[in-house]
Structure 1
Amino acid sequence: MRMRPFQQVDVFTATPYLGNPLAVVLDGSGLSTQQMQAFTNWTNLSEATFLLPPEHPEADYKVRIFCPGRELPFAGHPTLGSCHAWLGAGGRPQGEHIVQECGAGLVRIRRDAASGKLAFAAPPLRKSGPLPEAEVELIARGLGLARTDIVAHAWCDNGPNWRGVMLRSSEQVLALRPDAAVLAGLDVGVVGPRGKVGVAGPRAAGDDCAFEVRAFFPGNNGMAEDPVTGSLNAALAQWLVGAGLAPERYVASQGTALGRAGRVHVERAPDGTTWIGGHSVTCIAGEVRL
């Protein structure tokens, strides 16, 4: 074991402790998969990442992404948080975009010099199209909804195997109390219109967000909820914009039900690339013994 540079970064927020935290080990060289997994489990966070020298000639760095119990080929908030930490540690990209190498391949990340926001190019969906009706009925029951409350649904699989459902309003989304016994084994992302489509009039005026998003997945103690989820928002954007259910540029809110204030900036560029971005802020910087 030795001391390695470490950061804990809050992602999808410019205000510390209102986003989704990420543990970043800036030098993961020489660590085994078992050591990386053990450290991830110990952090008690949703994800931890380990930066390594790139293997692909076009990549600026390589990252391995872990959540409790398993390694992920791709995840959104670890992508932005790892890039934020890499840049903060003196990383310099080879070209116009930062290029991250991960289990899903090469992911482009762009940096807005004026705002400080980072955005990743959403990887292609591995699975798309409507969910089986039996699963939609199961999800409705597990969320305590009538089947008719789900107005649209789709596979949103870009690594994590998300199932996306859309409700009529943000109020419905925020009122959800999922039943872990019914939803066991499912990763469910829920989106509901905010602002103009929302039921509450006062909230409609001047709301900075188009959608309220919540993400549920099986955890160690039943159904867990993720504060802000880049991979889900990327897949939701590809689905919703592609289906004409969302504009090509919008901001999604996530984490409200958990006392967070995550903001995910979505843009579909003219070339068809979906960019998912937001602010990140370093909350802890130092060393970790690994």
Structure 2
Amino acid sequence: MLPFRQVDVFSSRAWLGNALAVVHDADGLTDAQMAEFARWTNLSETTFLCRPTDPGADYRVRIWTTSGELPFAGHPTLGSAHAWLEAGGRARGEDVVQQCEAGLVMVRRAPRLGFAAPPLRRSGEVDGALRDRVTTALGVDERDVEAMAWVDNGPGWVGVDLGSARSVLQVVPDVAAFADLKVAIVGRWDSATARSIGADVEVRAFYAAGQDFGEDPVTGSANAGLAQWLIGAGALPDSYVARQGSVVGCDGRVWVEARDGEVWVSGDTVTRIEGRVDL
């Protein structure tokens, strides 16, 4: 039996963030056991905390979806750091250093848990054929797209700027057209609405793998990639709050800040279930 937590990430209000399953002391598990449990939880990600193999790290995390392992993901980073700290983990420095397949990721603790966005593995222009696939999958006209770019920091995201937040909320994806696409879309709220809802932009993230399709409740990696792209292009300010999950019954908030050449992605993180799991 291994210690287990289920964590609500990117929301301080119960059940409105993105759920993450975290298994502690997982060094003795095989890949097959991790994959099997991740499929069983049926969550977007399940993580397994292990001893670090890099001397600069405080812990190592393995991040699994229902269909395979990821080199990096955002809400699993915050949820895993939260679970590690809550279980008595002690960082050697002011920040927590997480080791994952993508490398070392810094996680700061205040004012809320936040990670330094890792470098994009792929950025820049999306070729014409893929651009057509993305607009078709989103059910939008090419003229509705203000900009599109690769924002891939591990999962494989393509970012789409639709200009307005209301345009983002109006998207009805063509599930059959998604195939293997992972697409994050963003739009801006007017100042009055932004003040009333406590968010400057609206984000949605769609992912597909084989027959599986979903809309993620709140996505750290997608928000990180969008921020690196659009802050860098001058299309978003250095500091803003994103809302995500509105269409799928959630109400997440992601705090984004560009500082000293790095983009930080932060959110509230709360344990909702604690116990032990037999793997």
- TM-score normalised by L of structure 1: 0.93
SS of 2:124's partner is coil
Stretch deviating more after TM superposition (178-187 or 154-163): 178-187
Q: How do 1:16-165 and structure 2 match up within 5 A?
A: 16-112=14-110, 115=111, 117-165=112-160
SS of 1:93's partner is coil
**Residue 225 (1) aligns with residue 223 (2):** no
Deviation at 1:222, TM superposition (A): 4.8
Offset from partner CA, 1:245-289 (integer Å, 9 cap, x none): 1000001000010111110100011x2011000010101000000
Aligned to 2:264: 275
Contact preservation (8 Å) 1:195, 1:206: no
Offset from partner CA, 1:228-250 (integer Å, 9 cap, x none): 00011000000010000100000
Q: 1:26 to 1:229 in 2, by over 3 A?
A: same
SS of 2:276's partner is strand
Deviation at 1:220, TM superposition (A): 6.4
SS of 1:17's partner is coil
Q: 1:100 to 1:150 in 2, by over 3 A?
A: same
SS of 1:250's partner is strand
Deviation at 1:207, TM superposition (A): 4.2
**Residue 183 (1) aligns with residue 178 (2):** yes
Q: Which of 7, 10, 14 is 2:8 aligned to?
A: 10
Contact preservation (8 Å) 1:156, 1:232: yes
Aligned to 1:288: 277
Aligned to 1:194: 189
> Matches of 2:98 and 2:43 in 1, distance apart?
22
> Matches of 1:79 and 1:288 in 2, distance apart?
21
Q: 1:155 to 1:285 in 2, by over 3 A?
A: same
> Matches of 2:254 and 2:226 in 1, distance apart?
12
Aligned to 1:253: 243
> Matches of 2:244 and 2:257 in 1, distance apart?
17
The amino acid of 2:221's aligned partner reads S
> Matches of 2:210 and 2:125 in 1, distance apart?
29
Aligned to 1:199: none
Q: Percent same amino acid among aligned pairs?
A: 54
Contact preservation (8 Å) 2:180, 2:210: no
Deviation at 1:171, TM superposition (A): 1.3
Q: 1:110 to 1:204 in 2, by over 3 A?
A: closer
SS of 1:81's partner is helix
> Matches of 1:141 and 1:51 in 2, distance apart?
39
Contact preservation (8 Å) 1:107, 1:120: yes
Deviation at 1:69, TM superposition (A): 1.3
Deviation at 1:55, TM superposition (A): 1.1
Give the alignment's Cα RMSD to 1 decimal. Answer: 1.3
> Matches of 2:179 and 2:167 in 1, distance apart?
21
Contact preservation (8 Å) 1:180, 1:222: no
Aligned to 1:244: 234
Q: 1:204 to 1:82 in 2, by over 3 A?
A: closer
Contact preservation (8 Å) 1:10, 1:280: yes
The amino acid of 2:83's aligned partner reads A
Aligned to 2:200: 210
**Residue 265 (1) aligns with residue 255 (2):** yes
The amino acid of 2:46's aligned partner reads A
Stretch deviating more after TM superposition (211-220 or 64-73): 211-220
Offset from partner CA, 1:178-204 (integer Å, 9 cap, x none): 1122221111111111233xxxxx625
Q: 1:205 to 1:42 in 2, by over 3 A?
A: closer
